[in-house]
Amino acid sequence: MRKSIKILGFFILILLFSGNLFAQKITSPDGNLTLIFRITQGVPYYELSYSDKYVVKPGRLGFEANGFSLANNFAVKDVKYSSLNETWRPVWGEYSSVVNNYTEMLVQLFQPGEKGKSMNIRFRLFNDGLGFRYEFPNQPSLNYFTIKDELTEFALAGDHLAFCMPGDYDTNEFAYTTAKLSGIAPGMDQAARSKGYETKASGYTVQTPLMLKSGDGLYINIHEASLVNFPGMLLNVDDKNFILSSHLTPDKNGVKGYLQAPVNSPWRTIVVSNDARKILASRLILNLNEPCAFEETSWIKPVKYIGVWWEMFTGGGSTWAFSDYNKAKPGITDYSKLTPNGKHAANTANVKKYIDFAAKHGFDAVLVEGWNEGWEDWGSYVKDVHFSFDSPYPDFDVKELHRYASERGVKVMMHHETSSNASDYERQMDRAFKFMVENGYNSVKTGYVGYIIPRSEYHSSQWMINHYIRVVERAADFKIMVNSHEAVRPTGLSRTYPNWLAQESARGTEFETMGGNSCDHTTILPFTRLMGGPMDYTPGIFQTDMAYYKGFKPDQKVHTTLAKQLALYVTIPSPLQMAADLPENYDRFPDAFQFIKDVAVDWDNSWYLEAEPGDYITVARKSKGENEWYVGGITDENPREATVDFSFLPQGEKFVATIYEDGKDAHWDKNPQSYNIRTVSVSSESRLKIKMAASGGFAIGIK
Ligand code: NOJ
Ligand code: CA
């Protein structure tokens, strides 16, 4: 009797929760966002609306695994609701405390029948958007499995304006295209042509974070959070029906993930607002990451640095390599027998000059690239070993530089260009980190230029995702901070691993000497790449015209005014900021350089005052633990007048504001070095209008 009641109850459950019967809804804590989950003919769907507007229309959820489907025949076993409202404190960032407030719905699905599988979908609805992930629980019929495809759809409500770049398995260093979704194709093709190494994704795809603006004024950002043990996600584009769908990066066997239950996918994220400023202020992606993995974090410190770096991109022809060794010769065994080329930048005397400059102007560190053996033929995809990470070139005296730098209160920053040989880096990693600790280094810039070894992998495939995390975790064992270049774009993992200070993973300043970044580039970056975490953009170029260097790259130009370079320290927040230009160029403009010396790299609070993707950004920030504020404003190719509302300042006090602005005749191309510095008295009542030149900007320091 008991048993049959149980069975009857079970069938009633199936009836209730299957077919077209099941639909559940939750709303965000402020009631503005509504999420509806539905099962239709066994297929799971979700939709999201903002007030009365669709953010995404009903879109599919699910996976195809190799050998079975997790896409249909689903019924609902249970639905659990919960909510959270907590505040947590990041080790560093734009805000010293972050509110994590959401409504959660956990939908537990199962496929009736003997071979049926269980899959849960966890939705978290915040005031600024939605995160959801798939969870594959422990179950008798699911142990090891591989992913063929993720089917998640983002069914947009129209032909939105998109800020996007081509989908690629290996790189994010493309120029952005701004166009309606129906018209992005030509821009995608054009952008994809202008890079050195890449693997265009199969089909028609774009990269995330993808920024969109609807015709009726909704700003929508699609990305992922906490990318761990899973391949990076691109988006397939259907530019007729405006349905985007997940495109996981395969490995070269075509597999899109090797998993063992219990396991979760990363979070799929949709940040949304009718106010562009709130997209930039959103902490949703960080909130969806796990809390800090380390108990003790006092060794993690934001860094302002200079580097033996820009001289390799500009004048003089400085080289990373010690010699002009002919690549065609057999492998080098003894570097001390090579003939020096006389242009090797990372030599002890030159590095000391940088250390002196850093000490004089209060920088924390000096990055030195090209210090180690291997640069003579580092690009080769054929070699199995490229670099040695504990073998300095003969002219780089690591012990002496450690002594010299520490006497002056400066750190030398390590550089590990792996040449994308991740397997060899893993072999050497422990030795490399030990070498760093012994020689006084506490931060490393890693690099992944070229095609990945193991040769089965791409920069964004699952094995590499795990590699980057292994590096950051192992570095933490040695109390080392990491700045990774060319790695997969970030997904908020710096919350969990705050020693992962910054990444590149987009077109940085270096591209100003390799084709250029468009005038609107840095007005798009915060809405795209930076949604996942800080970027080592390497701003601060005062000598913007490369013709100055006589013959090296005479037609190359930085696409900003000098004042806009200053503003970038505030509009591109990062706990790791470089003053990238040559020391002698800073000596030519000491008054403007003062801003770079003053500006903070860690913040108590931030106020986005004005913002429109692709057009302009004005932001104010309060320096962490100091009564100092910094404001940055930038514009695209169009001159603009910014309005700075100082109501972020404490009431009833007067402050001195130093304004660094474009000169009256400034223009990024024709007159980039025209700037003006003035001081004014401000209070929380003040409003200032500041003019910006074409691709210009301004910076303000307030004390
Ligand atoms: C590319 C990096 O982005 C750049 O900063 C570095 O100097 C070169 N690779 C060499 O490692
Ligand atoms: Ca790069």
Helix (H) or strand (E) holding 261: none
11 pLDDT above the threshold of 90: no
468 pLDDT above the threshold of 90: yes
Residues whose CB is under 5 A from ligand 2 (ion)? Answer: 485
For the CA of 538, the nearest atom of ligand 1: 5
Q: What is the pLDDT of residue 381?
A: 87
User: 430 with 577, same domain?
Assistant: no
DSSP state of 392: B
Residue 223 token pair: 């990305």
Q: Tell me, yes or no, whether 236 lies in a domain.
A: yes
Identity (one letter) of the amino acid at 684? S
**Whose CA is closest to 101, among 76, 131, 73?**
131
Residues 254-296 have pLDDT tens digits of 999 999 999 999 999 999 999 999 999 999 999 999 999 999 9
Q: What is the pLDDT of residue 5?
A: 41
pLDDT tier for residue 194 given thresholds of 50, 70 and 90: low
Please give the model's pTM, rounded to 2 decimal places: 0.96
Q: What is the pLDDT of residue 626?
A: 98
Q: Tell me, yes or no, whether 3 lies in a domain.
A: no
User: 513 with 456, same domain?
Assistant: no
pLDDT tier for residue 189 given thresholds of 50, 70 and 90: confident
Helix (H) or strand (E) holding 455: none
User: 104 with 181, same domain?
Assistant: yes
**Whose CA is closest to 64, among 138, 119, 107?**
119
For the CA of 415, the nearest atom of ligand 1: 11
Residue range 669-682: average pLDDT? Answer: 98
Phi and psi at residue 690, in whole multiples of 5°? Answer: -130, 130
pLDDT tier for residue 421 given thresholds of 50, 70 and 90: very high
Domain of 212: which CATH number? 2.70.98.10
Domain count of the chain?
A: 3
Average pLDDT, the chain: 95
User: 309 with 457, same domain?
Assistant: yes
Q: Which ligand is nearest to the CA of 449?
A: 1
Are the beta carbons of 286 and 95 closer than 8 angstroms?
no
SS3 175: coil
Last residue of a domain, one of 247, 264, 287: 287
155 pLDDT above the threshold of 70: yes
Q: Tell me, yes or no, whether 347 lies in a domain.
A: yes
Cα separation, 145 vs 94, whole angstroms: 40
Last residue of a domain, one of 505, 532, 553: 505
User: 591 with 690, same domain?
Assistant: yes
Q: Tell me, yes or no, whether 471 lies in a domain.
A: yes
Residue 123 token pair: 């939705």
User: 410 with 465, same domain?
Assistant: yes
User: 528 with 646, same domain?
Assistant: yes
3-class secondary structure per residue, 230-243 = CCCEEEEEECCCCE
Q: Tell me, yes or no, whether 1 lies in a domain.
A: no
Residues 515-537 have pLDDT tens digits of 999 999 999 999 999 999 999 99
pLDDT tier for residue 454 given thresholds of 50, 70 and 90: very high
Last residue of a domain, one of 505, 536, 554: 505
Catalytic residue numbers read 510
Among 311, 417, 425, which is best to mutate for testing ligand 1, by the most ligand atoms less than 8 A from CB?
Answer: 417
Q: What is the pLDDT of residue 9?
A: 41
Residues 561-612 have pLDDT tens digits of 999 999 999 999 999 999 999 999 999 999 999 999 999 999 999 999 999 9
CA distances 153 to 39, 59, 61, 462, Å, are 15, 5, 7, 21
User: 544 with 608, same domain?
Assistant: yes
Q: What is the pLDDT of residue 621?
A: 99
CA distances 528 to 505, 506, 580, 627, Å, are 11, 10, 23, 31
Residue range 17-26: average pLDDT? Answer: 71
Gyration radius (Cα) of the chain, Å: 26
Helix axes 590-598, 562-571, angle to 10 degrees: 0
Residue range 615-631: average pLDDT? Answer: 99
Distance 407 CA to ligand 1 centre (A): 28
Q: Which ligand is nearest to the CA of 171?
A: 2
User: 522 with 635, same domain?
Assistant: yes
Q: Tell me, yes or no, whether 2 lies in a domain.
A: no
680 pLDDT above the threshold of 70: yes
What number of other Cβ atoms are within 10 A of residue 15's Cβ?
12
Q: Tell me, yes or no, whether 294 lies in a domain.
A: no
Cα separation, 425 vs 678, whole angstroms: 50
**Whose CA is closest to 468, among 455, 486, 451?**
486
Q: Which ligand is nearest to the CA of 309?
A: 1
Distance 447 CA to ligand 1 centre (A): 6
Q: Tell me, yes or no, whether 296 lies in a domain.
A: no
Q: What is the pLDDT of residue 21?
A: 59
Q: What is the pLDDT of residue 3?
A: 41
User: 235 with 347, same domain?
Assistant: no
Helix (H) or strand (E) holding 314: none
Domain of 342: which CATH number? 3.20.20.70
User: 38 with 150, same domain?
Assistant: yes
Residues 626-667 have pLDDT tens digits of 999 999 999 999 999 999 999 999 999 999 999 999 999 999
For the CA of 312, the nearest atom of ligand 1: 7
SS3 92: coil
Domain that holds residue 154: 9-287
Residues 70-90 have pLDDT tens digits of 999 999 999 999 999 999 999
For the CA of 504, the nearest atom of ligand 1: 3
Distance 419 CA to ligand 1 centre (A): 10
Residues of the chain with pLDDT > 70, as a percent, come to 96
Residues 384-413 have pLDDT tens digits of 888 999 999 999 999 999 999 999 999 999
User: 323 with 266, same domain?
Assistant: no
Q: What is the pLDDT of residue 383?
A: 85
Among 485, 507, 538, 578, which is best to mutate for testing ligand 1, by the most ligand atoms less than 8 A from CB?
Answer: 485
Please state the separation of Cα 624 from the chain's center in Å. Answer: 22
Residues 195-239 have pLDDT tens digits of 778 999 999 999 999 999 999 999 999 999 999 999 999 999 999
Q: What is the pLDDT of residue 317?
A: 83
Among 510, 512, 541, which is best to mutate for testing ligand 1, by the most ligand atoms less than 8 A from CB?
Answer: 510
Distance 445 CA to ligand 1 centre (A): 9
Residues lining ligand 1, judged by CB closer than 6 Å? Answer: 309, 369, 417, 447, 449, 485, 504, 510
Q: What is the pLDDT of residue 196?
A: 74
Distance 217 CA to ligand 2 centre (A): 34
Residue range 311-329: average pLDDT? Answer: 82
